[in-house]
């Protein structure tokens, strides 16, 4: 591991990009498994996704510490990061870096941003497929057995409001 915090930060970015690229590949595989209704493969995908997400979270934590270290080494005041993304915080030390290093960071930052945007789109597409399937199943169950209507659940699966059908077991007795 290099002693230079800038080099360590660059390695962290490269590693994070690889983790997120792997998550992107996995999201695309998950889409096929969702469509094929291959629950065993989907379960394996989710287990792998959880491990990769854990690795990504560790890298993000490490990157935050390296970011502060790089800002201190370059005598750059780090701005508040609460509303900004992890890739955006690299703008702080990047302006004070030597030319070649700044260029390497800019390229890596842009690649990371592209990968994260693609991952977001893939995950949104997968969520749409899952939600669409749940809506279809709820409609089918409602048509077969009565009960709650589709509108009883919000977009995240939480109860929005409850409406029961008029049918009850007492009327059949």
Q: How far is CA 88 from the centre of its chain?
A: 16
What local confidence, expressed as pLDDT, does residue 164 receive?
45
Q: DSSP letter string over 62-91?
A: HHHHHHHHHHHHTT-PPPP-TTS-TTGGGH
pLDDT in tens, 97-154: 778 888 888 899 899 999 999 999 999 999 998 888 888 888 888 778 776 555 566 6
What local confidence, expressed as pLDDT, does residue 75 receive?
74
pTM of the predicted protein model: 0.69
Q: Which residues pair with 159 in a beta bridge?
A: 153
- Tokens 């070649």, located at residue: 100
What local confidence, expressed as pLDDT, does residue 124 receive?
95
* Backbone phi, psi, residue 24, to 5°: -65, -45
What is the distance between the alpha carbons of residues 142 and 166, in angstroms, rounded to a whole number? 12
Q: Give the chain's length.
A: 173
| Cα dihedral sign, 137-140-141-146 | positive
What local confidence, expressed as pLDDT, does residue 44 receive?
96
Q: CB under 8 Å to 116, separation ≥6 — which residues?
A: 20, 85, 87
Q: Say which DSSP state 3 is in.
A: S
Kindly indicate the confidence band of residue 173, based on its pLDDT and cuts at 50, 70 and 90. very low
What local confidence, expressed as pLDDT, does residue 152 receive?
60
- Tokens 């497929």, located at residue: 129
What is the distance between the alpha carbons of residues 15 and 31, in angstroms, rounded to a whole number? 25
Percent of the residues in the chain that have a pLDDT greater than 90, as a whole number:
42
**Residue 22's closest CA among 107, 87, 110, 116?**
116
Q: CB under 8 Å to 133, separation ≥6 — which residues?
A: 34
What local confidence, expressed as pLDDT, does residue 100 receive?
85
């Amino acid at each position: 591991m290099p002693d230079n915090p800038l080099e360590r930060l660059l390695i962290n970015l490269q590693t994070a990009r690889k983790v997120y690229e792997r998550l992107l590949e996995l999201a695309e595989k998950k889409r096929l498994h969702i469509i094929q209704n291959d629950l065993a493969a989907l379960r394996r995908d989710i287990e792998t996704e959880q491990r990769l997400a854990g690795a990504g979270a560790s890298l993000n934590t490490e990157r935050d510490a390296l970011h502060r270290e790089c800002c201190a080494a370059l005598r750059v005041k780090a701005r508040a990061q609460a509303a900004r993304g992890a890739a955006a915080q690299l703008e702080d030390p990047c302006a004070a870096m030597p030319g070649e290093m700044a260029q390497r960071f800019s390229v890596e930052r842009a690649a990371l941003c592209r990968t994260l945007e693609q991952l977001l789109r893939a995950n949104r597409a997968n969520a749409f497929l899952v939600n669409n399937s749940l809506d279809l199943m709820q409609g089918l169950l409602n048509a077969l057995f009565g009960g709650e209507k589709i509108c009883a659940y919000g977009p995240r699966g939480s109860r929005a409001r409850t409406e029961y059908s008029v049918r009850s077991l007492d009327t059949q007795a």
